Amino acid sequence: MPFIPHTENDVHAMLETIGIRSINELFDEIPSELLIDQLPAIPKALNEMQIARLMKSRAKQDENSLCFIGAGAYEHHIPAAVWDIAGRVEYMTAYTPYQPEASQGELQLLYEYQTMMASLTGMDVSNASLYDGASAVAEAILMAIRSNRQCQAKRVLIPTTLNPLYRKTIQTIVSKQAIELIDVPFDEKTGRITVEAIDKIVTQEFAALVIPQPNFFGLLGDVDALTDWAHQRQALVVAVVNPMTLALLKEPGLWGEKGADIACGDAQPFGIPLSSGGPYLGFLCCKNEHVRQMPGRVVGKTTDVDGKTGYLLTLQAREQHIRRSKATSNICSNQGLMAVAATIYLSLLGPKGLKRVAAASHQKTMLLAEKATKLKGVEVLFHGHYFHEIVLQLPQSAKYIVQEMADSQIEAGLALGDFYPGLDNALLVCCTETKTEEDINKYIECLKQALKNKTFSK
């Protein structure tokens, strides 16, 4: 039987020790009418060679194209060493480091991870990971409500320029706790929210304002003014950022006069493959004063009985296995292995490499936009500063163009119509450093063709 090492002799000896005659007797406390003797709906067993053949043919089916989609998941180059090391069996097959003396390697690494993430976001501290970016924002909102003692209202402002997939997730996760989520609409010309506009809509007290930077469209907003505006109203600021962009963009800890209070998002761009959506790496960093409201595992530095430096899981009194129904979150398993990969990635890139990856991604996206807007009828949709991702306004349905270009093995971007009524012709496009000028030219050529096809078919 697969992965079961017992010989017949073993089984006999073990049964004899237990004092029973057959393995089935081990289940004699279970009401007999509940026991089943077969599982007809399950396909018959394969050996390793057969499953390899099956999976290779399935993976082959999905191999294709040049990807220009971003929208929360980014294709960056992953150095070979990242998964050679993160994939080592010690990292891969350990459990949560409950026994610190047997897990110093993992714990020290997570301490390094926390340091890197806190520094990138300009925050004081970081936790050791959450599931993904969307659920991290949901946790940050719950945390902000707990942490903001000056505000009685369980009300949070969320711009509609926050990734719509994140907004859906937040709705699922926080809505059971009588929390009111107020949508803040964006300005149709600039694709952003402004202090003036938000000031008009918001009349009631609120616990936190969520600020995405860049926003879902790739646009930079006036985060300083928004942060100060929220702080003047005794609200906390939850920054939602793509951490890759922080190599160049101002860190949330320095937004406005006092800086954002919590910074979160998805660290998938740091060495984690696209992999159809997961596993990714939710991160959450915050200022010191909120640390005891943080969800999830946190690694702290300490000493052993001989005074040597070591690391362990700390502040466990916040967590479900101790506080049970009063814990800061129900999270138990997190995305530890992804944090291992991200830490190795960040070490390989260093401050200089990370800056170059961010700059190259940005410049290539701009190059693509420049070339695309030379095509008849193609424009940049909103006026403003984009970073790393951009919205093109096409002369026809973006969904149609995406479909057309897919036939030529190009994933053209995300058609925004499904998420934003009225933006049917808008296409969210992203380049990363992985795209060459040739790739971009191929994209433009293909886009040109797709636009033409439509004209002919009319």
The tokens for 123 are 């925050």
Q: Out of 42, 149, 376, 458, name the contact with other proteins by CB under 8 A.
A: 42
- Least CB distance from residue 208 to other proteins, whole Å? 18
By CB under 8 A, is residue 234 in contact with other proteins? no
Measured between alpha carbons, how far is residue 427 from residues 112, 245, 358, 390, 401 in Å? 38, 21, 21, 8, 9
- Least CB distance from residue 39 to other proteins, whole Å? 4
The DSSP secondary structure of 311-348, one letter per residue, reads: EEE--GGGSHHHHGGGSS----S--HHHHHHHHHHHHH
Q: Which is nearer to other proteins, 169 or 202 (CB)?
A: 169
CA-CA-CA-CA torsion sign (213, 68, 360, 116): positive
Q: Which is nearer to other proteins, 50 or 150 (CB)?
A: 50
CB distance 334 to 283 below 8 Å: no
Q: Out of 162, 264, 319, 426, name the contact with other proteins by CB under 8 A.
A: 319
> What whole-number distance in Å separates Cα of residue 201 and Cα of residue 182?
10
Q: Which is nearer to other proteins, 261 or 319 (CB)?
A: 319
- Which stretch, 192-200, 228-236, 326-334, 371-379, contacts other proteins (CB under 8 A)? 326-334
Q: Which is nearer to other proteins, 275 or 455 (CB)?
A: 275
Question: DSSP label at 2?
Answer: T
Residues from 47 through 76 that contact other proteins (CB under 8 A): 47-48, 51-52, 54-65, 67, 69, 71-73, 75
By CB under 8 A, is residue 8 in contact with other proteins? no
Question: DSSP label at 160?
Answer: T
Residues from 391 through 410 that contact other proteins (CB under 8 A): 402-403, 406
CA of residue 96 relative to chain centroid, distance? 21
Residues from 246 through 305 that contact other proteins (CB under 8 A): 246-251, 254, 266, 273-280, 291, 297-305
By CB under 8 A, is residue 12 in contact with other proteins? no
- Least CB distance from residue 203 to other proteins, whole Å? 26
> What whole-number distance in Å separates Cα of residue 357 and Cα of residue 434?
9
Residues from 14 through 33 that contact other proteins (CB under 8 A): 14-15, 17-19, 23-24, 26-31
Residues from 168 through 197 that contact other proteins (CB under 8 A): 168-169, 171-173, 176-178
By CB under 8 A, is residue 457 in contact with other proteins? no
**Side by side, which strands form the sheet with 208-213?**
125-126, 282-286, 262-266, 236-241, 208-213, 155-159, 180-184
Question: DSSP label at 214?
Answer: S
By CB under 8 A, is residue 161 in contact with other proteins? no
Q: Out of 209, 240, 349, 390, name the contact with other proteins by CB under 8 A.
A: 349
In degrees, rounded to 5, the angle at the alpha carbon of residue 349 between the alpha carbons of residues 347 and 350 is 65
CB distance 431 to 441 below 8 Å: no
- Which stretch, 143-151, 188-196, 313-321, 389-397, contacts other proteins (CB under 8 A)? 313-321
- Least CB distance from residue 217 to other proteins, whole Å? 15
**Bridge pairing between strands 414-415 and 410-411:** unpaired
- Which stretch, 113-121, 153-161, 196-204, 229-237, contacts other proteins (CB under 8 A)? 113-121
